Amino acid sequence: MFKPKVVLLTASLFLISGITVTKVVQAQNNQNNLQTSTSRKKTETELISIAETALKTENDILVNGNIENALSRNPLALRAREAFKKRFETILERRKFLTARKIGFRGFQTQLEVKKIQIDGDMATLEATEKTVRNYDLSIMPPDTPNTTASYTDHLFTFVLRNGQWDLSSNQLLNVPSPPTKPDEKSVPVDPSVTPADPLAPPTDVKSNLASQQVASAWKSIFNIFKSFSKQKLAKV
């Protein structure tokens, strides 16, 4: 028959062992959670950096007019090149158009305000607002030109994980009207996210031609009405 002291000592040892094991498991879980949280935070920072660098590359192209040089100054943007390839080309055309109208920029500051970020396996999305302040090139602008112009654009970025590396796969603009699906040959390559409507810019030839056509059409309609009225009056006589 077991003595009471021995039984009590054995029970105490089992209890202490159980508490120790529980604490060890809890410590391991806390460490795993900390590692997971740290890893997630690192991934979020990486995704934000890729998106922000891609936008800075856009503005670099607008200011300096060279895609390859802009990419070399912002190497992280290479992980967004496929998604932004068409936009880079459009911005380059936009710069040529603005230069022809004596509108230019000498610098910019771009920041992203993150609204929501989700990571699900090898896919991730980032909703953010881009704030870009551009400095006008006053050497080619009219004397009363303001120093800067600012724009705010909402983005939805999509990322994919390929071979252990996150790449930006698409960028959807959420508050910018879509361009015409089949623009005519005279259409101006306008992208409101690159440069907002500028009050300093003179009317384009496209708008002027359109206005002339509208006036001519109106006069033609008036002439036809007058001609029809004259025929009716002569018929009565």
How is residue 134 written in tokens? Answer: 């551009």
Note the pLDDT of residue 54: 97
Using CA atoms, how far residue 157 sits from 14, 106, 115, 128, 171, in Å, is: 55, 27, 12, 8, 5
Cβ atoms of 103 and 77 within 8 Å: the answer is no
Note the pLDDT of residue 233: 47
Strands of the sheet containing 165-173, edge to edge, are: 105-120, 123-136, 148-162, 165-173
Residue ranges of the chain with pLDDT lower than 50? 178-216, 218-219, 222-223, 226, 229, 233-234, 237
∠ CA 117-35-155, nearest 5°, is 10
Distance CA 102, CA 145 (A): 12
Q: In 3D, which of 134, 170, 128, 169 has the Cα closest to residue 149?
A: 134
Note the pLDDT of residue 37: 76
Note the pLDDT of residue 27: 59
Q: How far is CA 103 from the centre of its chain?
A: 23
pTM, two decimal places: 0.64
Distance CA 39, CA 42 (A): 5
Q: How far apart are the first and last CA of the chain?
A: 141
Note the pLDDT of residue 131: 95
Distance CA 42, CA 37 (A): 9
